[in-house]
Amino acid sequence: MDNAFLRYAPDRWYLHEERVHCPLMMGSTNNEFRIAPHAEDDATLMAYAAKIPGLDQAAFLKQFTSPATKESIAREGDVNAIEFAVRAAGMRTNETIYAYEFSAEIPGWDHPGAFHSVDLWFFFETLAKCWRPFTGKHYDLARQMCDYLVNFVRGGDPNGMGTDGTPLPYWPVLKAEAPVFQSFGDTVKPVQSPASPLTKLLLDAYLSRSKPD
């Protein structure tokens, strides 16, 4: 924060009335910024929960097997941080939000999965500039994602016609009560995406204390 251009932490600034109000396109890849509690047993998991303001600690601890281990906590406590932020935005504001999850298979000797920012190659249709051996399905997906982006920039709504002359698969607005994310994988389609019980508990805790100044 520089107290000039940005006078609040980003999550608080988004909730403030002084911000620019406009439609948003928000999303994540399914393999980025995975976080879990920094704990290795029941005792440290309880201590972790106690530090989260507003958290229903009993309900939180029920999401984990007991006795807990470092491995079980990492597995059962896994949350996508950016997806969490998108859900929080959709629950806290009345803005028009189009949410997505990118899960397309990314080719290469390293089998990287859908890593952070790989979706940008598709939104900007720049696959040919990369060494990875993309094939036809990847270029088809990139064309559709770029069409969504152009439509959104042009009118605040990604829906409409694609450059191939056919309508793009419908992308619904994110609704807090029944969230739908546009899935960019082997196919493009809207998918009902309710928050997991663990994510719901963490969202409730976060939103209880994230009121703007």
Whether the pLDDT of residue 210 is over 70: the answer is: no
What does the pLDDT look like over 50-65, one tens digit per residue? 999 999 999 999 999 9
What does the pLDDT look like over 112-169, one tens digit per residue? 999 999 999 999 999 999 999 999 999 999 999 999 999 999 999 999 999 999 999 9
Structure tokens at 90: 């959709």
pTM: 0.88
- AA identity, residue 33: F
Q: Show the beta-strand stretches assigned E in 30-163.
A: 34-35, 79-80, 97-102
Whether the pLDDT of residue 42 is over 90: the answer is: yes
Where do the structural domains in the chain lie, given as residue ranges?
10-36+78-209
Q: Closest Cα partner for 31 from 101, 100, 109?
A: 101
Whether the pLDDT of residue 41 is over 80: the answer is: yes
CA distance 56 to 35: 19
What does the pLDDT look like over 73-125, one tens digit per residue? 999 999 999 999 999 988 887 889 999 999 999 999 999 999 999 999 999 99
Identify the pLDDT of residue 117.
93
Identify the pLDDT of residue 91.
86
pLDDT band (50, 70, 90) for residue 4: confident
The β-bridge relationship of strands 24-29 and 97-102 is parallel
Identify the pLDDT of residue 186.
86
Pick from 19-23, 149-153, 185-189, 193-197: least confident: 19-23
Which sign, positive or negative, has the C-alpha torsion 23, 31, 135, 180? negative
The 10 Å Cβ neighbour count of residue 180 is 18
